[in-house]
């Protein structure tokens, strides 16, 4: 499919800018200290906003800067794979240098390497490339390329991944480094069918499911669900967000979902196609995202978010808000912790961050999916204000001072303030003439940040929001009084109806 589809709907322009450090100063991305090896290798090449062409660094300027910084070193590096969001990279860089005197090496998975090279018509600079183990005919991994790379660099203290596109590559890379904690290699952390089967093998609550290579098999499985008054959900085994996800209540919807899914590009692969459909029972109940950080097998829930999704513009899963939830208000909070910890153990997660989505059913929490990365939103500020800590900081602690994670409560029961991230929904189609209500929104009592994405700015051609990938922007709200947050949220919802004044297409 297109580059945008291949990247799982992530905004390509923003991804290119972040990866090439157009939005973050190059020296900031690796911390303003020299590495033990020439740190020019870790510097990001500039990329022209106009052409997206790679521009090599100036060797003379590099030499001058190294002379100026001579004598300053970092104690090691954090390898950050596919840093596309921007906010995660900035936060990690600041924390790594200030707290641990570490540089951050931003590298790309082979998947994104290929996309960017095809877009630019040239190979990426070497410092973008993440080496990978070589898989033998019997499936065994030869980690020699990983270890050679690591031996030539400052000590690697942690390997983290910002985006779904790089999870498999980051996992394989980390598994080759004996010097750092890692979770090994496990495809069940990304394959949604294997994920639920891993839970079933442990006797944990999970979805009824079937992998179907033809529509008749889908219809057979769904017939039993429909007969008992249940809905079905159809999706790829390996996907991202709500892309190619369909809720079905009738045989006709099952047929249409199968036809729209099978044959499409498989996420995180430039060659593979989706030849099967994963059909599951639709799990009913309130939906939550549970962010965890693990240190040596000690799992800590650091934030619980309640999703509010709506049907809009023809999309069934349009995000309206993500609300921090006081865990004390959950039905059976202790049961939620135990279930999530058991899920981590079933998937072999002992170290690092996860973002787990589940629904609360009458029989207890049931997994939707686990993502071995951070929550894909700018959460540090709102979590610091409302919870008192955040998953960015704790992830570094998990690798470098694990006792800080282990000493936390299993989950934060109360909130210091009430917070919500509002997803801006565009209802218009055409060329934007004016973006309304920005100044008014920024002046709201609980509003701490308000951003309209560049591709929804004046002069841009826009289409209506149909899922999280097509959000028009966001607002971050928090306040000690929950009624203030609710009032401001409702006001933003009202403004969204005419926020984008367009010339019709």
> In this predicted model, which residue has the larger pLDDT, 36 or 229?
229
CA distances from 354 to 66, 73, 189, 407 (A): 37, 31, 10, 19
Residues 54 and 120 sit within 8 Å (Cβ to Cβ): yes
Specify whether the CB–CB gap between 6 and 92 falls below 8 A.
no
We report the CATH number of the domain holding residue 235 as 3.30.1490.20
Nearest Cα residue to 212 out of 166, 241, 248: 248
Lowest mean pLDDT among 239-248, 256-265, 345-354: 239-248
- pLDDT exceeds 50 at position 28: no
**Among 146, 137, 136, 138, CA closest to 172:** 146
pLDDT for res 120: 83
User: Is residue 201 a part of any domain in this protein?
Assistant: no
pTM over 0.85? The answer is yes
In a domain, 195, yes or no: no
Percent share of the chain, pLDDT over 90: 71
Q: Which of 366, 401, 416 is the last residue of a domain?
A: 416
Question: If pLDDT is split at 50, 70 and 90, which confidence band does 7 have?
Answer: very low
Q: Please indicate, yes or no, whether residues 77 and 33 belong to a single structural domain of this protein.
A: yes
Q: Closest Cα to residue 360, out of 339, 391, 386?
A: 339
Q: Is residue 236 part of a domain?
A: yes
pLDDT digits (tens, 9 = 90+) for 298-353: 999 999 999 999 999 998 889 999 999 999 899 899 999 999 999 999 999 999 99
pLDDT at 186 over 80: yes
Q: How far apart are CA 50 and CA 357, in angstroms?
A: 38
Residues 253 and 321 both lie in one domain: no
Predicted local distance difference test score (pLDDT) of residue 24: 30
Are 294 and 431 part of one and the same domain? no
Annotate 304-313 with b (16+ C-beta within 10 A) or e (fewer): bbbbbbeebb
Among 148, 143, 154, 142, CA closest to 176: 143
Per DSSP bridges, beta strands 103-107 and 77-81 are parallel
Max mean pLDDT among 51-60, 103-112, 484-493 falls in: 484-493
For 21, what's the count of Cα atoms within 13 Å in the CB-facing half-sphere? 23
The pLDDT value recorded for residue 10 is: 39
How far apart are alpha carbons 337 and 326 in whole angstroms? Answer: 13
Checking if the pLDDT of 16 tops 50, the result is no
Asked if pLDDT for residue 208 goes beyond 60, the answer is yes
Looking up tokens 């960015």, which residue turns up?
A: 392
Residues 92, 166 within the same domain? yes
What is the distance between the alpha carbons of residues 301 and 341, in angstroms, rounded to a whole number? Answer: 9
Residue 214 has pLDDT above 80, yes or no: yes
Check whether residue 62 and residue 147 sit in a common domain: yes
- From residue 105, alpha-carbon distances to 9, 177, 393, 395 in Å are 24, 16, 17, 16
Q: Strand locations in 108-244, DSSP E? A: 134-135, 141-142, 156-161, 209-212, 232-235
Q: Are residues 290 and 405 located together in one domain of the fold?
A: yes
Mean residue pLDDT across the chain: 87
Clarify whether residues 38 and 121 are in a common domain.
yes
Q: What is the CATH number of the domain that holds 288?
A: 3.30.470.20
Q: Are residues 340 and 274 in the same domain?
A: no
- Asked whether residue 238 is assigned to any structural domain, the reply reads yes
Number of separate domains in the chain: 4
Section 168-185 average pLDDT: 96
Q: Which of 281, 303, 328 is a domain's end point?
A: 281
Are 309 and 461 contacting, i.e. CB atoms less than 8 angstroms apart?
no
Instruction: Check whether residue 22 and residue 160 sit in a common domain.
Output: yes
Q: What would the two tokens of residue 48 be? A: 């022209």
Domain residue limits at 127:
3-185
Same-domain check for residues 276 and 375: no
- The answer to whether 312 and 465 have CB atoms below 8 angstroms apart is yes
Q: Is residue 391 located within the same domain as residue 287? A: yes
- For residues 418 and 324, what is the distance between their CA atoms, to the nearest angstrom? 7
User: Which of 269-273, 291-295, 466-470 reaches the highest mean pLDDT?
Assistant: 291-295
pLDDT confidence of residue 72: 57
**The pLDDT value given to residue 369:** 98
Q: Kindly state whether residue 191 falls inside one of the protein's structural domains.
A: no
Task: Report how far residue 188's alpha carbon sits from residue 190's, in angstroms, rounded to the nearest whole number.
Answer: 5
pLDDT in tens, 225-235: 999 999 999 99
- Mean pLDDT for 259-281 is 93
- How much is the pLDDT for 15? 44
Two structure tokens written together for 67: 């002379």
Statement to judge: residues 60 and 71 lie in one domain: yes
More confident residue, 54 or 143: 143
Q: What is the per-residue pLDDT across 386-437, written as a single tens digit (0 to 9) for each?
A: 999 999 999 999 999 999 999 999 999 899 999 999 999 999 999 999 999 9
User: What are the phi and psi torsion angles at 428 (to 5°)?
Assistant: -110, 160
Contact between 9 and 240 under an 8 Å Cβ cutoff? The reply is yes
Q: What per-residue confidence (pLDDT) applies to 35?
A: 33
Residue 58: its pLDDT value, please? Answer: 43
Q: For every residue of 428-463, which 3-state class applies, written as one string?
A: CCEEEEEECCHHHHHCCCCEEEEEECHHHCCCCEEC
User: 193 lies in a domain?
Assistant: no
**Which among 362, 384, 416 is the end of a domain?**
416
The model's confidence at residue 37, banded by pLDDT at 50, 70 and 90, is very low
192-201 vs 333-346: helix crossing angle, rounded to 10: 110
Asked, for residue 200, whether it belongs to a domain, the answer is no
């Amino acid at each position: 499919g297109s580059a945008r589809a291949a990247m799982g709907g992530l905004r390509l322009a923003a991804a290119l800018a972040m990866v090439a450090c157009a939005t973050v100063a190059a020296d900031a991305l690796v911390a303003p200290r020299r590495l033990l090896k020439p740190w020019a290798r870790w510097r990001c090449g500039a990329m022209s906003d106009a052409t997206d062409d790679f521009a090599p660094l100036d060797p003379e300027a590099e030499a001058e800067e190294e002379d100026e910084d001579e004598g300053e070193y970092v104690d090691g590096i954090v390898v950050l794979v596919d840093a596309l969001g921007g906010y995660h990279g900035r936060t990690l860089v600041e924390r790594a240098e200030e707290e641990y005197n570490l540089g951050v090496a931003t590298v790309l998975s082979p998947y994104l390497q290929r996309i960017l090279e095809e877009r630019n018509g040239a190979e990426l600079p070497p410092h973008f490339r993440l080496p990978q183990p070589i898989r033998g005919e019997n499936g065994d991994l030869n980690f020699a390329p990983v270890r050679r790379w690591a031996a030539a660099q400052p000590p690697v203290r942690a390997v983290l991944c910002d985006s779904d596109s790089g999870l498999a590559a980051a996992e394989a890379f980390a598994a080759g480094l004996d010097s750092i904690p890692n979770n090994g290699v496990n495809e069940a952390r990304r394959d949604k069918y294997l994920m639920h089967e891993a839970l079933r093998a442990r006797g944990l609550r999970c979805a009824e499911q079937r992998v179907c290579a033809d529509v008749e098999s889908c219809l057979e499985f769904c017939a039993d669900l429909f007969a008992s008054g249940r809905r079905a959900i159809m999706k790829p085994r390996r996907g991202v967000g709500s892309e190619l996800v369909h809720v079905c209540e009738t045989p006709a919807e099952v047929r249409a979902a199968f036809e729209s899914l099978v044959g499409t590009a498989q996420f995180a692969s430039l060659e593979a196609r989706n030849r099967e459909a994963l059909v599951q029972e639709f799990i009913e109940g309130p939906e939550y995202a549970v962010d965890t950080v693990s240190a040596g097998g000690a799992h800590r829930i650091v934030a619980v978010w309640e999703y509010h999704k709506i049907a809009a513009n023809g999309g069934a899963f349009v995000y309206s808000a993500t609300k921090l939830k006081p865990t004390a208000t959950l039905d059976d909070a202790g049961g939620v912790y135990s279930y999530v910890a058991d899920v981590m153990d079933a998937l072999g997660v002992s170290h690092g961050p996860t973002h787990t989505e589940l629904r609360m059913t009458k029989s207890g929490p049931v997994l939707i999916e686990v993502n071995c990365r951070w929550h894909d939103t700018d959460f540090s500020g709102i979590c610091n204000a409302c919870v008192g800590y955040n998953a960015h900081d704790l992830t570094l602690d998990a690798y470098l001072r694990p006792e800080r994670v282990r000493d936390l409560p299993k989950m934060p029961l109360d909130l210091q303030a009430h917070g919500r991230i509002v997803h801006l929904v565009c209802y218009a189609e055409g060329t934007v003439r004016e973006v309304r209500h920005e100044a008014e929104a920024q002046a709201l009592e609980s509003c701490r940040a308000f951003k309209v994405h560049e591709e929804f700015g004046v002069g841009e051609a826009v289409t209506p929001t149909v899922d999280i990938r097509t959000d028009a922007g966001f607002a971050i709200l928090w306040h000690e009084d929950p009624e203030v947050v609710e009032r401001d949220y409702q006001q933003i919802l009202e403004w969204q109806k005419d926020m984008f004044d367009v010339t019709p297409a």
